[in-house]
Structure formats: structure tokens, C-alpha cells
Amino acid sequence: MDELIHLIGRLHPVSDEFLQALTAQLKRIDLPKRSLLLSPGEVSSELYFLEAGLVRGYYLSDGKEFSTGFMAEGSFIISPLSFFTQTPSYEYLELLEEAGYGRSVKVN
């Protein structure tokens, strides 16, 4: 999570109080390869920060997989349409490598 805090500080100066409040809301999770962060029909309601690993977004159509994107270390992970509209996702978010995440505040 130190990488996320450092990134935020580089983007914009923030107070120590803000960083303390943010840190209190973060939870670090480690997941094995092939874990799904999101499946079709689920709402993308959490924002992940990828500390290590690689994530692939994809959807299925007529039994074929179509990639929507790849997210590497240092990236924020969401399904954009689902996250911003809070509607069910059409895509999968799958870990291609074992990964460590700092998970941020859940959107209500």
C-alpha cells in the first residue's frame, strides 16, 4: 500500500490527515493466479490498486473470448462502465499472475 500512498502524493499534495483516513479504509489482499475480481452480472463496486501482477479484462461472445484490456502493476482496476454507472458488468476481470492488491473504499 506504500506504493499507492506514494503515487497519490506525487499526483497532488495531500494532508497527513487525509492519508491517515485513506489508509484506514484500505485493505491489502493477496490472490492466486486465475482469481476473478469481477464476473458478468456483478456490479464493479470496488476500486483495486494493483501492487503486483497482471489483470486481463475480457467478455465472452458466441463462446469466444474478447479482451477488453490489460492492467499491470501500478494500475487501478475496475470495469469502467459497471463502476461508473453501478450496473451489472458484462466482463470478467481475471488475474493472470499471483497478485497483491490494495483495495480502496467500496462505492455505495
Query: Does residue 81 sit within a domain?
Result: yes
What is the count of structural domains for the chain? 1
pLDDT in tens, 62-75: 999 999 999 988 88
pLDDT in tens, 92-104: 999 998 776 655 4
Mean pLDDT, rounded, for 42-48: 90
CA-CA distance, 6 to 87, in Å (whole number)? 31
Quick one: which of 94, 79, 7, 3 has its CA closest to 43? 79
Report helix, strand or coil for 23: helix
Query: Does residue 41 sit within a domain?
Result: yes
Query: Does residue 10 sit within a domain?
Result: no
Query: Does residue 35 sit within a domain?
Result: yes
Which structural domain range is residue 49 located in? 27-103
Query: Does residue 4 sit within a domain?
Result: no
Half-sphere exposure of 87 (CA within 13 A, CB side): 4
pTM metric for this prediction: 0.75
Cell numbers describing residue 44: 464493479
Residue 87 has what pLDDT? 96
Query: Does residue 87 sit within a domain?
Result: yes
Mean pLDDT, rounded, for 37-46: 94
Give the CATH number for residue 92.
2.60.120.10
